[in-house]
A and B are shown apart, each in its own frame.
Chain A
Amino acid sequence: MDNKEIDIQAIVKEIMAELTQNGAIDPPQENPSPIPEQQQAGIDLPDPSLPENRKKLGVANPYDPEGLRNLCSTTSARLGVGRAGPRPRTETLLLFQADHAITQDAIYGEVDQEVLDKFALFTVHSQVESRVQYLLRPDLGRLLNEESQAIIAERCEKNPQVQIVVGDGLSAAAINNNFPLIYPVIMEGLKAANLSLGTPFFIKNARVGIINDINEIIKADVVVILIGERPGLGISDAMSAYMGWQPAHGKTDADRDVVCMITMNGGTNTLEGGAFVVEMVKKTLKYQASGIALREKAGETG
């Protein structure tokens, strides 16, 4: 038995060598496809978080395998995962935990200084002093600290038509991954429309409402904040663009418009997202209104 196998392997080797010499095929890799013996050499796994690897059926002997696949394709819910006794199977459990892990890294992560430097953004701070306080006190995330007010007053252009700011919000990854892609799109669109632009900057530990406080100093017609959203399971880098007509203290979400779920991982991509932001800014300037007021005005005039 053993001898026969060795013979076959030898023959295969010979044929392979011939084919390789002829240039018919590429020479064989040092480490071919993983088989149990290769475990000694290490473990090298595909990424279980890739979309194509998420939809693997885990049910041992489904009544209708094709039907089960069809059911699973109707929803992004985690179906067809099977079970180990009453518990999830190992890969299902670990993927779920990985999806949660990436949200935690996003929430407690920091926006890369290189990203800010690349676009010459300086940094100011809300009144929040730590990440824990950020989670506990949304009200403090809506206000600038004193030092930051002074910095903005000193360094920023006043009374522009459009002021762009960036906030970390609940996901640093959202800014790290999307801001470098969306910012050029927005800037190009706004410049092409001949709009006067304010001095952009970054606010650490920011909530959306901080645009009110910012605009008490800058007095822009429109303020746009690009901010990290609360990470969802599996999508931890969604960014949103909130904007409002002449934000000021007392303005709320009802006075704002939003382009949400901007991400390259299954949301609105940055190119489209950037275009939406530019369109929304133009519309806001045209009607001199945002939020519910904008919908009413735009509706009235068609």
Chain B
Amino acid sequence: MLLRTKLFGKTYEFGTIKELLAKANEEKSGDRQAGIAAESAAERMAAKHVLAHVTLETLRQNPAIPHERDEVTRVIDEGVNETIYAEIKSMQLGELREWLLADTTTSAMIRRISNGLTAEMIAGVAKLMSNLDLMIAAKKIRVTAHCNTTIGLPGTLSSRNQPNHPTDSPAGIKASIYEGLSFGSGDCVIGINPSDDSLSSVSRLFEMTHQVITTWKIPTQNSVLAHITTQMEALKRGVPIDLLFQSLAGSEKANQGFGISVGLLDEAYQMARKYCNSNGPNYFYFETGQGTALSAGAHEGADQLTMEARCYGLARRYHPFIVNTVVGFIGPEYLYDSVQITRAGLEDHFMGKLTGIPMGCDACYTNHAVATQNDIENLAVLLTTTGCCYFMGVPMGDDIMLSYQSTSYHDTASLRQLLGLRPIPEFEAWMEDLGLMKDGVLTEKAGDASFFLQK
């Protein structure tokens, strides 16, 4: 296929759609590490120029990995609504960008065409957008889901209470849960990353969080981010689980590295519907992040943005309650600095929403990335204005188990206050009943973990 343009008098030609997509990507250290990034700023622009003229049909016909070799490609392709696809397939990516941004295009209209899009189309249009484009378009797309409560409602901003502990001490984790709740964090989920993936330890954490939720009648859901097979085993034994968790990657091979497959996820999904303790119908929590496939040596020559979009396509199959990118966790060899982390956060949120999933973000960084807490505070504000469903709540942003920095319990309250947003309604009512919040603002009693020593 001929993919060629002139720019400032120089001719640029691209061999394949995959190469074109990679070179049209905004600068990412991961793409450079993989040797697939544009070689100059002008070449990047030439690639974008050509990409703007590629039709949706061409992108569907050229997935990053061929059907016969990759089940993620098959899942996404089989999920396409053919009627809707037939309506839009002749559209060029540049036209899709303008259609998404047009004032006449509504949330409902975008949700409809979502069902006719594949990951390569979604990644492609993201590459043609500026940061503010990504925000304007994503803001329009309203995606809600329900487990025990409803995520993604207009006017809300939710928070995962992330009370991790280096040795999974239930007492230490409970102390952090209390602190978070007292700041209004936890309306999205009380979700623990375990350091010990054993069935007994994971079950103990499910039991403990379930007990806190029951004792205080908290309108939320629990989750322990263990391997899916551990959670399935716990489910079988009657452990109270509201949400099932799994990390996803964008290729079959990378998912093998995680020890998962579509077959396994299908099985887990059936089990969730049968045995989860929550109301549903949305039972899954997924995490993703640009660079995951490359770090597993399973990117198949595709750029990290395209691989990320494929995660969302896979996630959609399981009607998740929440999905978030862990955007700065992977390190500077994939996202070097705050510019790249910020860009990736905005891209991922937009792509998730365009895929039709309720998208949050772990706005975070490691100490060897060129970023500071100020940078992720900035990113959190940007994402909140564009309708991001939730962020992490970590004590002072310092995760003592995973050794990285994310958003804090304070940030949850701050972002709501800054932009006039509220927790999920039932959770806000619960806080008001306890006297921790009044008219959307924390009261004098709030911010005190010992409040929860009353019961």
A residues near B (Cβ < 8 Å) are: 59-65, 67-68, 71-72, 74-83, 85-88, 92, 96-97, 99-100, 103-104, 107, 135-139, 170, 230-234
Taking CB atoms, residues of chain A closer than 8 Å to B183 are: 83
Can you name 17 A-B pairs with beta carbons within 8 Å?
A59-B448, A60-B444, A63-B450, A68-B453, A74-B174, A77-B396, A78-B395, A82-B447, A83-B447, A86-B410, A86-B417, A96-B398, A107-B368, A135-B332, A135-B333, A136-B332, A231-B367
Taking CB as reference atom, which chain A residue is nearest B179? A79
Please count how many residues in chain B sit with their CB below 8 Å of the partner chain's CB atoms. 50
Q: Is B165 an interface residue (CB 8 A)?
A: yes
How does the 8 Å CB contact mask read for B381-401 relative to A, with 1 for contact and 0 for none?
000000000000001111010
CB distance from B110 to the nearest CB of A (A): 33
Which residues from A are CB-within-8-Å of B372?
Answer: 100
Contacts of B192 in A (CB 8 A): none
Q: A74-B169, A74-B171, A136-B32 are in contact. Are A63 and B333 (CB under 8 A)?
A: no
Q: In the complex, A103→B395 CA distance in Å?
A: 19
Assembled-state Cα–Cα distance A61/B172 (Å): 22
Given known A59-B448, A67-B453, A75-B165, contact A107–B333 (CB-CB < 8 A): no
The answer for the CA separation of A62 and B452 in the assembled complex, in Å, is 11
Tell me whether B413 is interfacial, beta carbon within 8 Å.
Answer: yes
CB neighbours (8 Å) of B172 from chain A are 74-75, 77
Please state if B366 and A230 are interface contacts (CB–CB under 8 Å). yes
Interface flag for B262 (CB, 8 Å): no
Does B373 contact A80, Cβ atoms closer than 8 Å?
A: no
A contact residues around B398 at 8 Å (CB):
77-78, 96, 99, 233-234
Q: Is A88 a contact partner of B410 (Cβ separation < 8 A)?
A: yes
Q: How far is the CB of B126 from chain A (nearest CB, A)?
A: 23
B-side contacts of A96, CB under 8 Å:
373, 396-398
- Contact present for A61 and B367 (CB under 8 Å): no
Q: Are A65 and B450 in contact (CB under 8 A)?
A: yes
CB <8 Å contact, A86 and B396: no
The one of B29, B33, B405 in contact with A233, judged by C-beta atoms closer than 8 angstroms, is B405
Given the known interface contacts A83-B410, A86-B413, A136-B333, the answer about A64 and B453 at a Cβ–Cβ threshold of 8 Å is: yes
B325-347 vs A: 1/0 string, CB under 8 Å? Answer: 00000001100100000000000
Which residue on A lies nearest to B29, using beta carbons?
A136
- With the chains together, A63 CA to B397 CA distance in Å? 24
* A63-B453, A107-B367 given; A87·B410 CB < 8 A: yes
Apart from A77-B396, A79-B176, A103-B367, list 14 A-B contacts with CB within 8 A. Answer: A63-B451, A68-B453, A71-B179, A71-B450, A74-B174, A76-B166, A83-B410, A83-B442, A85-B417, A86-B417, A135-B333, A137-B33, A170-B368, A230-B367
Which 10 pairs between the two chains have the least Cβ-Cβ distance? A75-B172, A78-B396, A68-B450, A86-B413, A71-B175, A64-B450, A103-B367, A77-B395, A86-B414, A74-B172
Interface: B445 (CB within 8 A): yes
For the complex, is B101 an interface residue (Cβ under 8 Å from A)?
Answer: no
Residue in chain B with minimal CB distance to A95: B396
Q: Mark B147-191, 1 if CB is under 8 A from A, else 0.
A: 000000000000000011110010111111011000100000000
A71: B residues at CB distance < 8 A: 175, 178-179, 449-450, 453
Residues of A within 8 A of B215 (CB): none
B395 is contacted by which of A60, A62, A79 (Cβ under 8 Å)? A79
Most chain A CB neighbours (cut-off 10 Å) among B163, B396, B397, B444: B396
Residues of A within 8 A of B171 (CB): 74-75
Say whether A79 contacts B368, CB under 8 Å. Answer: no
Knowing A63-B451, A67-B450, A232-B367 touch, does A76 contact B410 (C-beta < 8 A)?
no
